[in-house]
């Protein structure tokens, strides 16, 4: 469900490259490799799983290698961190959020299936607005918001007749 397949992956990488170019950020070879791995994963992927895969192309890779790349990708909004899972997921980003006009620091929410592990990113403005409103009502000035919902995805709920 998640994960960017085949040609879509290349297209996403090309968009990422363009976005970085536009804002003067360097999408180096290492960063591109890490981004490719994150995008290719069908689920949110942990930093160490990413590291294992990265070592196939870059034998000397160590934890800081992948964490530094992830820090960059997070700053650029090309990946997100799923806090509940301590794992990372590619942003479906530009192509999916262009319609709502959000940039690289767009509001987003995650739907995490507790059965199959699939994690979907959605972008619901009403949720974002409700959260912002609740924060302001408490005299709080929000900067970044995490919304993560655990439950059953459509596929798993459908197959669970119990």
Partner DNA sequence: GCGCCGGGCGATATAATGTAACGCCGCACG
Partner DNA sequence: CGTGCGGCGTTACATTATATCGCCCGGCGC
Residues that bind DNA (CB under 7 A): 25-26, 28-31, 46-49, 58, 60-65, 67-69, 72, 81, 86-87
How far apart are CB 136 and Zn ion at their closest, in Å? 15
- In the list its own copies, DNA, Zn ion, none, the entry touching 124 (Cβ below 5 to 8 angstroms by class) is its own copies
Q: Which DSSP state fits 41?
A: -
- CA dist., res. 100 & res. 103, Å (int): 9
CA 1 to each of CA 5, 48, 66, 119, 142: distance values in angstroms, whole numbers, following the listed order: 10, 22, 24, 8, 31
Q: Which of 13, 30, 116, 120 binds its own copies (CB under 8 A)?
A: 120
Using CB under 5 A, which of the segments 18-26, 47-55, 134-142, 148-156 binds Zn ion? Answer: 148-156
Distance between first and last Cα of the chain: 23
Count interface residues toward Zn ion (CB under 5 A): 7
- CA dist., res. 38 & res. 78, Å (int): 10
- Residues 35 and 13 sit within 8 Å (Cβ to Cβ): yes
Q: Which residues bind its own copies (CB under 8 A)?
A: 83-84, 109, 111, 113-114, 120, 122, 124, 126-127, 129-131, 133-135, 137-154, 157
């Amino acid at each position: 469900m998640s994960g960017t397949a085949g040609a879509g992956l290349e297209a996403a990488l090309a968009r990422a490259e363009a976005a970085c170019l536009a804002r003067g950020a360097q999408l180096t070879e290492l960063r591109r490799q890490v981004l490719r791995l994150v995008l290719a994963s069908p689920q949110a992927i942990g930093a160490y799983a990413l590291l294992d895969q990265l070592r196939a192309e870059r034998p000397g890779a160590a934890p800081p290698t992948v964490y530094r790349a992830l820090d960059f990708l997070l700053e650029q909004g090309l990946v997100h961190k799923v806090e509940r899972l301590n794992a990372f997921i590619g942003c479906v980003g530009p192509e999916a959020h262009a319609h709502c006009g959000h940039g690289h620091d767009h509001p987003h929410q995650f739907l995490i299936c507790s059965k199959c592990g699939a994690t979907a990113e959605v972008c619901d403005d009403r949720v974002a607005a409700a959260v912002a409103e609740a924060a302001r009502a408490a005299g709080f000035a929000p900067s970044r918001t995490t919304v993560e919902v655990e439950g059953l995805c459509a596929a798993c709920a459908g197959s669970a007749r119990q």
